[in-house]
Every structure is written in structure tokens, then in C-alpha cells.
Amino acid sequence: MTEAERSLSSRADDPAAERDPAAVRQFIERFTALLAQTGFPRTPARIFVALLTSDSSSMTAAELAELLQSSPASVSGGVRYLLQVGLITAEGEPGSRRQHYRMPLTVWQDIVGLRDRQFTRWAAELKDGVQILGPGSPAGTRMAETVRYFEFISAEIAGLLARWQQQPGAGD
């Protein structure tokens, strides 16, 4: 078992130790493909899913490269992207230059929150467009409907996230 495969399971007496490493890699590739279909860049998606499959949700660049059978440069670029968009954090190891890349427990809420902020920015810009095009024009009317849609979605997302936080175990 490679170091990367050991990182998928933290203890030998853990049922996770019985995972089939090939099945884990196949899952990583399948879920990566789904994320890529939505516009998520492929290499960062592979890293994201690899961290998702790790019991500790933390791996080093070397572990990621080994698990994903990718070059260090590819992992470096993917990690940089995920750090920039806030989907992972980097934590130093005392006495070492090695970084551990960690996925927060709230990553899905964070993703939804990022999307919500995007909708809010779009709605604000579209409001300007309504005024520029004229609220009574067909294009202005259509744009105003888009603003109402994004404002509705944003309010619903805020409510959903608040209700999720009230669920037992949410964000633990």
C-alpha cells in the first residue's frame, strides 16, 4: 500500500482500511468528471475529490501526486487554484517545509455561499443594466426579471444555509 493509499485510511483497525485503492481512484475519476462537466477545472477537481476521499481530509502534495498519478507541477497548479478560490487551506508542518492541504468540513456550504455571492453581484450589475436599457424596454423588462430571479434564489439560499446549520451534526 502506498503512502497516499494509507492516507485514505488513518488506522489499520478501521473498516476504512479495507477500502479497495483501485475503487477509490475510480470514484475520484468519476466524480471529477461530474465536476468538470459543470466547469470545474479538471486537475483542481481531482485534487478536491482526492481530499474528499481522505478520512483526515488532509494530504501533502507528494501524497496527492502519488494517489492521482500526477506530476508535482500539476498538483502544485491545482492546489494553487483551490487555495485561491478558498476551497482548501494549507497548513505547515512544524520543523518542515511540507504543506498539508486540508478541506474544511463546511466546504459544501462554502461552495454554495460563493455561488450566492456571485448571484448577488450579478443582480447588482443587472440592475444597472435595467436602467441603461430602460425599464420599459423588452430587454430591460427581461433583465429586471433576471434580477428578481437572482434576488429570489439568493434569499432562498440564505434560508437553506441557515436551516442546514440547525441540523444535528451540521458543520461538525
Residue-wise pLDDT tens for the chain (172 aa)?
555 555 554 445 666 678 899 999 999 999 999 999 999 999 999 999 999 999 998 999 999 999 999 999 999 999 999 999 989 999 988 888 889 999 998 899 988 988 899 999 999 999 999 999 999 999 999 999 999 999 999 999 999 999 998 988 876 6
Residue 172 lies in a domain: no
Contact 82, 122 (CB under 8 A): no
Range of the domain at 124: 107-165
Q: At what angle do helices 138-165 and 107-133 cross, to 10 degrees?
A: 160
Residue 171 lies in a domain: no
Q: Are 128 and 95 part of one and the same domain?
A: no
Residue 63 lies in a domain: yes
Boundary (domain end) residue, out of 73, 102, 131:
102
Boundary (domain end) residue, out of 102, 118, 145:
102
Contact 68, 47 (CB under 8 A): yes
User: How many domains does the chain contain in total?
Assistant: 2
Q: Are 135 and 156 part of one and the same domain?
A: yes
Q: Are 94 and 28 part of one and the same domain?
A: yes
Q: Are 60 and 96 part of one and the same domain?
A: yes
Boundary (domain end) residue, out of 76, 102, 128:
102
Q: Are 9 and 92 part of one and the same domain?
A: yes
Residue 135 lies in a domain: yes
Interatomic CA distance for residues 29 and 171, integer angstroms: 26
Q: Are 112 and 48 part of one and the same domain?
A: no
Residue 170 lies in a domain: no
Q: Are 34 and 72 part of one and the same domain?
A: yes
Q: Are 51 and 128 part of one and the same domain?
A: no
Interatomic CA distance for residues 140 and 130, integer angstroms: 5
C-alpha cell at 71: 506530476
Q: What is the pTM of this model?
A: 0.76
